[in-house]
Amino acid sequence: MSIQIRDRDSTSRTAYGDSIGPAARAVVTAVAGSTAALQAVMNRADRHPASPREAFAAFIAYRRAQAQVDAAVAQYAAWLLVGGVTRSALARGLGVRPASVARLLAPVEHLASARGQDLVQGADGTWAVHMLEAVQ
């Protein structure tokens, strides 16, 4: 699959380079955390399986943790856009419609739409969005 990458300004490229690794780490951490309780159920000895109450609690913990996974995935996808991946390429790669990508990015739309002057680096080295106010 060939993806379309747009050339970005140097600030966007730098912010992407500094941020995509930590964003990937956040996805991996969230996914691992979401399955911890289910793994405990899975690893129980065959003679002493988890009780239905414990298995149910593990399932509920997994479903609740999905919000953290979704947030981390949205952040990662937003950094891909900052790096130059187009929204249409993201939709094609995920096998979804552009509207689904818009829903995925809605919580981080400020980052997904940020370019150049919108991006500022904090004292701790992390990048954030500081949108310039429109003149009214």
Q: How far apart are CA 121 and CA 128, in angstroms?
A: 6
Mean pLDDT for the stretch of residues 50-77: 96
SS (H, E, C) 81-136: HHHCECHHHHHHHHCCCHHHHHHHHHHHHHHHCCCHHHEEECCCCCEEECCCCCCC
pLDDT at 38 over 90: yes
CA distances from 101 to 26, 78, 80, 95, 97 (A): 19, 10, 12, 10, 7
pLDDT at 31 over 80: yes
pLDDT at 133 over 70: no
106-132 confidence digits (pLDDT tens): 999 999 999 888 999 999 999 999 865
Tell me the β-bridge partners of 119: 129
Asked whether 80 and 72 are in contact (CB, 8 A), the reply is no
Burial 74-106 (b: 16+ CB within 10 A, else e): bbbbbbbbbbbbebebbbbeeeeeeeebeebbe
How much is the pLDDT for 47? 77
pLDDT at 50 over 80: yes
Percent of the chain with pLDDT over 90: 82
Q: How far apart are CA 132 and CA 8, in angstroms?
A: 18
CA distances from 9 to 16, 40, 86, 130, 133 (A): 11, 47, 15, 16, 20
Average pLDDT, the chain: 91
pTM for this one?
0.85
How much is the pLDDT for 135? 41
75-103 confidence digits (pLDDT tens): 999 999 999 999 999 999 999 999 999 99
